[in-house]
Structure 1
Amino acid sequence: MDRADIVDQRFRTRLASGDLPRGNPAHGPLSDTLAVAIFRAQCLSRNLDRRSRKMQAEGQGYYTIGSSGHEGMAAVAAALRPDDMAFLHYRDGAFQCMRSQQVPGVTPAWGMLLSFATAMDDPISGGRHKVLGSKPLLIPPQTSTIASHVPKAVGAAYSIGLAKRHPPEHQVLAQDSLVMCSFGDASANHSTAQGAFNTAAWTAYQSTPLPLLFVCEDNGIGISTRTPRGWVAANFAQRPGLKYFHANGLDLYDTYRVAREAVEHTRHQRKPAFLHLSLVRLYGHAGSDLQQAYLPKQVFEGWEADDPLLHSARLLIQRGILSADEVLDIYQQAEDQCTRVAAEVVTRPRLQTAEQVMASLIPPPRACAPSNGAGETARQTAFGSDHKQLDAPQTMNRLINWALTDLMLAHDEIVMMGEDVGTKGGVYGVTQKLAERFGPDRMIDTLLDEQSILGLAIGMAHNGFVPIPEIQFLAYLHNAEDQLRGEAATLPFFSNGQFTNPMVIRIAGLGYQKGFGGHFHNDNSLAVLRDIPGLIIACPSRGDEAAMMMRECVRLAREEQRVVVMVEPIALYPMRDLMAEKDSGWMATYPSPDRRIGLGEVGVSDDGPLAILTYGNGRYLSTQAASDLADQGIETRVIDLRWIAPLPVEGILAALEGAEKVLIVDECRSTGSLSEALMAMLQEQTALPHARLAACDSFIATGPAYAATMPSRASISEAARTLWAAP
């Protein structure tokens, strides 16, 4: 027999017999009316869980992971305002049910059951996932089970104070609101969560406003692994900068009272708090999890005996607010409603085609106020001594710096963050002087934690900012890649385009750095980025084009709400010469602020019959090789992709018009590199003979062999000659 049905029967039997669990009497500021409202939300959440399990058993529902045992979260919702953004734990059905009572026009049973049925009418995900979330309730959908949503909650909370000083055009959160983020006791141990807690405390320790309420829902177990008794309190009660509160999550009065105290502290002190709720888990981890297979019977039966609904019934009856019959009537009304609505939602259409599934991968554009850029006086003031050099040839790092200056002048909602981006101006000087020009509010020197950097950006984007986070080196992204894959890029997908987090991530990367850092500072692989649906990847190769592409990246984020990554080739940052020492052949003048290179627009030099298809450092080396080949009577054209994802197929094919053969030059590793996709595209869409030259499947060495595993000017020339000579 399903444990959910056993718990249901015991609730009814014990309520009828008056066999209610022992506990403290009701105490606190909770009114009778609100107490009943909380109990209604608890009953609805419980019966939504039961109905979802029955839907799955009938083949009409999918992926059941319930909130039973965590009904105390309804009291937390009651202690908050509906304009406090909430990033929820996956067991927070009761929270959403309670908040639904606070916002007119929201019908939680209908909406949540549509989600359980994966119906296209599902108001949050459009049938893509069983997920909590609601646009009217200010609950972005969460699919994480390992607390990867915690870093962005820190970012969203930080954005509230920043928005007071620099109001973004598309501001969402009220100035006196706060952010709530909930998670389980097991998830609290994950490095992602621990980094976020540390970032919050680190921020608050410096007296920076951070109105953030962490809520740890401690049911004592993570799937099958028990949490050591007392561990959560021992871990969090004494953290500097993080005020600790504890409540009995089975007692709606105690939970509401302590939650109110934590909320008041967070809202008025503008400092983070940690609310620790003691709860129980009913039914196991998920519908397919049989906890009786790994837990002694007395353990889960003990949890069932402490059913939160029985505790709520005891408190409401003891206070004289409801009779046992009235308690049962509320419970039965919830079951009847769920049964009735479920019968309807399973008849609703579900997603069927790839086009339907993918329709929300790309978020909808939004209307933005037109920007004509900054006036010349403002530009002269911001650029300072640099203003006189705008017409002189410069290296890539400086031209990107100037592009960022113009963009930040034009758009007040742009904020940059990362390790050393402010005072130092970045490892390679790309952000030099920006802190002087725009202040520490908009040039944030973060602590050394890539997950927190990206989380800060994601959260700030929730509140209307256009963040430009920097990851200092491409190899460092691997510490935090899930913030892009599991959080940023999936948000429009799982919210049907209702929630977005537009941003431009700058990453210094790729190879060819001479004698510095080996594979930690030279990482020639873009595979981890190319694998993320909906992500735009830009990779410039020359300074003027980098400036124009950065402008397009910001436009894509600001107007089209896209998540964009610009991979900036480190070795080309300071590059001055092309063919000979001091020829300044790779320097360029700063393009006018109104010029940009559009998404999918490739670059082509010359029109020879041998096309070299490349990007990044490959363009620089191929341009050198093209000169050598011309001396040998082989005319070439060098095609710079510029845009790595989505692959600019139309632009590539247009650039190949009139070509006779194609050599792909890819500085990334042969396995998993862009060259594989390009080979497939050429095979499928052209009849052109083609070959590729890619890097070896190896990490990069430090010292004289720094470029030994990657294409070179000489190897490109040799590969081109071989291809051209082939029949």
Structure 2
Amino acid sequence: MDRAAIVHENFLRRVAARDFPVGNPPGGPLTPVQAVAIYRAGCLSRALDRQSRAMQKAGQGFYTIGSSGHEGMAAVAAALRPTDMAFLHYRDAAFQIARADQVPGQSIAWDMLLSFAASSEDPISGGRHKVLGSRALNIPPQTSTIASHLPKAVGAAYAIGAAKRRPPEHKQLPDDAIVMCSFGDASANHSTAQGAFNTAGWTAYQSIPLPLLFVCEDNGIGISTKTPKGWIEAGFSARPGLQYFACDGLDIFETYRVAQAAAQFTRQRRKPAFLHIRTIRLYGHAGADVPTTYLSREEVEAEEANDPLLHAVRLLDQAGALTPAEALAIYTETNDRVARIAAEAVTRPRLKTAADVMASLIPPKRPCKPTNGPTPAAREAAFGGDLRQIDEPQPMSRILNWALTDLMLAHPEIVMMGEDVGRKGGVYGVTQKLQARFGAERMIDTLLDEQSILGLAIGMAQNGFIPMPEIQFLAYLHNAEDQIRGEAATLPFFSNGQYSNPMVLRIAGLGYQKGFGGHFHNDNSVAVLRDIPGLILAIPSNGADAAMMLRTCVRLAREEQRLVVFLEPIALYPMRDLHADKDGGWMRRYPAPDRSIPLGEVGVTGDGADLAIVSFANGHYLSQQALPRLEAKGVKTRLIDLRWISPLPEASLLQAVQGCQNILIVDETRRSGGVAEALMAVLAERTDTNTARLTAEDSFIATGPAYAATMPSADSIYAAALQLLGVRP
């Protein structure tokens, strides 16, 4: 017999014999009716775990990580309100079941079994994963999260106070709500979790409202690696900014009492708390895991003897709420009912095609109030003396600053956050004066932690804001890329479009900075962004385009709930000249606030048919520098600025190169994994045109005089173009 069957038989035998584990008597505010409801939730959670294993053996289910041993989380749900957003640990089926009991009209067993069966009728993921979550229950879906949901929980909690002070149009959470976030003891050691704990404490230390309840479910082991005894208490009982609470999750009366106290503290004080719950883990880590391969049989059997459902039956009997015979009848009836429901759930339809699976990659559009842009009076008040210069040619950094000003005037729900974005105005001055114009609540200077910056943005998007986080340099994104890949981008996919993370992530990046920082501040790799499904990547090459593209990015986030990355070429921030000193050839006039560049529209300079140079950002600037020399050679050239890197603007690009005899791709990203690889594939598949590419080398970038040695230059573009055309230099 497997361990699940052993635990089941032990329960039946021991309840019938009134053979219960020893524990404290029931005490606290939990009423008999509430206690029975919590027990029923635990029985259903246990029955679903057993049924998922049976379904997997029959080829009718596909994922069996369970919640057995963590049934006490039902008492935590009972201590909270259904309006409290909950980011759940994957062992929290009992929490979701108990919360469903608080919301009318739920069919929780049916819903969860549809998820186990990967049915397209599964109400949370549409058959894409066995995942906890429910829009009706205010539980955004989480898959096998290892702490990656903690940073956004911090952001969501922060957003409650921010929305109270400045309500966004699509506000989701009431002012008195709290956010609950649960995880295991092993996950608490993850750097992502530690960053979230630190950010929560750092925020609370400054008396900034943060109604967040961390719940650590401590079963003492992470797959096969044990947590040292006392480790969680030692690490969190005296942590600055976190109020510590502890309880025995095997005792539903104690768990309810302590969880209620922790929730009350968080709700009334608007400060974060840490609830440490003792649990056990039954059946091993997941369906394929056999705990006796790394634990002694005595250890496994000792845990099984402490079954929380046995403790619950003892406590209910002592409280006079339920006799053991009645408790056993509920347990048996629940198992039978789940088996009957499962027999129908496994017959329901499943996803079949790629289109079915991908239907929720892009979230649905949402209705938004019309906006006519900022009024002249509001602009005059915000811009001040800058208005006198607004019609004069300016470098990209200043035009971006003005574009951000107009956007923040037009959309009060825009909030920017990042290291140094506020008081300093950004490392390169792009956000100068914005904190003075809009206040510290909309220009948030964060602590130095990219995971926390993105978590704040993701969480604020959950409560109706349009976040515009800033990552100071592209190379720094790699510290936190899973917040984009594993959290923000997957949320609409795993929620069937019911949840989304609209935002515009601004990143300063790419190369060509003279003598500054090496690869830490010059990073020419965008591969990590290009392969994230549903993400839009925009890269402008000049100030006017940057302003108009940024407006489109904000519209996409606000109205279409899209996840957008706006990558700003650092070397082009201050660029003024194109061909000669003080020629001002790369400065642009600020485009009127109502002008924008649509998603997928490329830029075209010239109409020559001999050669099309396809590039973006610094590559487009360098191609413009090479253009006069090519024309002097008699090469009739057109330059195409991609602007939109992901998804590639294929239709617009193909139209732009139509009629050209040769195409040269100039790509400042690396030869391997760079943008040119995709462009070459598109052009090879869709055209018969003679095509070549000039890329950066597969190298990091050096500091000092060799800062641009590994990347395209105006000279190398000129030489590559002549070689493609067969023209002698």
TM-score interval for Structure 1 and Structure 2 normalised by the shorter chain: over 0.9
User: In structure 1, what is the equivalent of residue 207 of structure 2?
Assistant: 207
User: In structure 1, what is the equivalent of residue 618 of structure 2?
Assistant: 617
Letter in 2 for 1:360: S
User: In structure 2, what is the equivalent of residue 679 of structure 1?
Assistant: 680
User: In structure 2, what is the equivalent of residue 307 of structure 1?
Assistant: 307
Letter in 1 for 2:688: A
Deviation at 1:106, TM superposition (A): 1.2
SS of residue paired to 1:96: helix
* Residues 245, 275 of structure 1: 8 Å contact kept: yes
- Structure 2 distance, partners of 1:246, 1:603, is 60
Deviation at 1:107, TM superposition (A): 1.0
Deviation at 1:158, TM superposition (A): 0.1
User: In structure 1, what is the equivalent of residue 452 of structure 2?
Assistant: 452
Deviations 1:34-63 (A, max 9, x none): 111111100000000000000000000011
Deviation at 1:725, TM superposition (A): 1.3
- Structure 2 distance, partners of 1:496, 1:666, is 36
- Structure 2 distance, partners of 1:327, 1:628, is 87
User: In structure 1, what is the equivalent of residue 243 of structure 2?
Assistant: 243
* Residues 244, 275 of structure 1: 8 Å contact kept: yes
Deviation at 1:715, TM superposition (A): 0.1
* Residues 21, 305 of structure 1: 8 Å contact kept: yes
SS of residue paired to 2:597: coil
SS of residue paired to 2:101: helix
- Structure 2 distance, partners of 1:337, 1:562, is 41
SS of residue paired to 1:102: coil
Letter in 1 for 2:30: L
User: In structure 1, what is the equivalent of residue 180 of structure 2?
Assistant: 180
Counterparts of residues 155-554 of structure 1 (less than 5 Å):
155-554=155-554
Deviation at 1:330, TM superposition (A): 1.1
- Structure 1 distance, partners of 2:398, 2:727, is 43
User: In structure 1, what is the equivalent of residue 31 of structure 2?
Assistant: 31
Letter in 1 for 2:263: V
Letter in 1 for 2:225: T
SS of residue paired to 1:198: helix
* Residues 547, 591 of structure 2: 8 Å contact kept: yes
- Structure 2 distance, partners of 1:576, 1:159, is 40
- Structure 2 distance, partners of 1:26, 1:558, is 51
- Structure 2 distance, partners of 1:640, 1:84, is 47
SS of residue paired to 1:202: helix
- Structure 2 distance, partners of 1:336, 1:591, is 68
Deviations 1:309-362 (A, max 9, x none): 000000001111111111011111211111011000100111110000000000
Deviation at 1:145, TM superposition (A): 2.9
- Structure 1 distance, partners of 2:265, 2:554, is 37
Deviation at 1:144, TM superposition (A): 3.7
* Residues 144, 486 of structure 1: 8 Å contact kept: no
- Structure 2 distance, partners of 1:56, 1:342, is 12
User: In structure 1, what is the equivalent of residue 605 of structure 2?
Assistant: 605
Identical aligned residues as a percent: 70
- Structure 1 distance, partners of 2:724, 2:21, is 81
RMSD: 0.7
Letter in 1 for 2:49: D
User: In structure 2, what is the equivalent of residue 704 of structure 1?
Assistant: 705
- Structure 2 distance, partners of 1:106, 1:406, is 45
Give every structure 1 segment of 4 or more consecutive aligned residues whose post-TM-superposition deviation is greater than 6 Å: none
- Structure 1 distance, partners of 2:628, 2:197, is 55
* Residues 32, 320 of structure 2: 8 Å contact kept: no
Letter in 1 for 2:85: M
* Residues 427, 472 of structure 2: 8 Å contact kept: yes
- Structure 1 distance, partners of 2:337, 2:96, is 17
User: In structure 1, what is the equivalent of residue 725 of structure 2?
Assistant: 724
SS of residue paired to 1:435: helix
Letter in 1 for 2:162: L
- Structure 1 distance, partners of 2:110, 2:648, is 41
* Residues 56, 63 of structure 1: 8 Å contact kept: yes
Deviation at 1:255, TM superposition (A): 0.3
Deviations 1:610-634 (A, max 9, x none): 0000001000000111111111111
Q: Give the TM-score normalised by structure 1.
A: 1.00
* Residues 626, 635 of structure 1: 8 Å contact kept: no
- Structure 2 distance, partners of 1:215, 1:188, is 10
Q: Which piece of structure 1 moves more, 717-726 or 112-121? A: 717-726
Q: Does 1:11 align with 2:2?
A: no
- Structure 2 distance, partners of 1:383, 1:102, is 50
Letter in 2 for 1:350: R
SS of residue paired to 1:464: coil
Letter in 2 for 1:69: G
Q: Does 1:137 align with 2:170?
A: no
Letter in 1 for 2:469: P
User: In structure 2, what is the equivalent of residue 567 of structure 1?
Assistant: 567
Letter in 2 for 1:391: D
SS of residue paired to 2:213: strand
- Structure 2 distance, partners of 1:649, 1:191, is 40
- Structure 1 distance, partners of 2:467, 2:125, is 25
- Structure 2 distance, partners of 1:682, 1:310, is 66
SS of residue paired to 2:141: coil
SS of residue paired to 1:362: coil
Deviations 1:679-705 (A, max 9, x none): 111110000000000000000000000
User: In structure 1, what is the equivalent of residue 715 of structure 2?
Assistant: 714
Deviation at 1:726, TM superposition (A): 7.2
User: In structure 2, what is the equivalent of residue 639 of structure 1?
Assistant: 640
Unmatched tracts of structure 1, length 5 or more: none
- Structure 1 distance, partners of 2:580, 2:62, is 64
Q: Give the TM-score normalised by structure 2.
A: 0.99
User: In structure 1, what is the equivalent of residue 49 of structure 2?
Assistant: 49
- Structure 2 distance, partners of 1:169, 1:460, is 13
SS of residue paired to 1:141: strand
- Structure 1 distance, partners of 2:297, 2:359, is 46
Deviations 1:506-550 (A, max 9, x none): 000000000100000000000000010000000000000000000
- Structure 1 distance, partners of 2:201, 2:727, is 64
Deviations 1:117-170 (A, max 9, x none): 000000000000000000000000001431100000000000000001110000
Unmatched tracts of structure 2, length 5 or more: none
* Residues 109, 337 of structure 1: 8 Å contact kept: no
SS of residue paired to 2:70: coil
- Structure 1 distance, partners of 2:145, 2:101, is 26
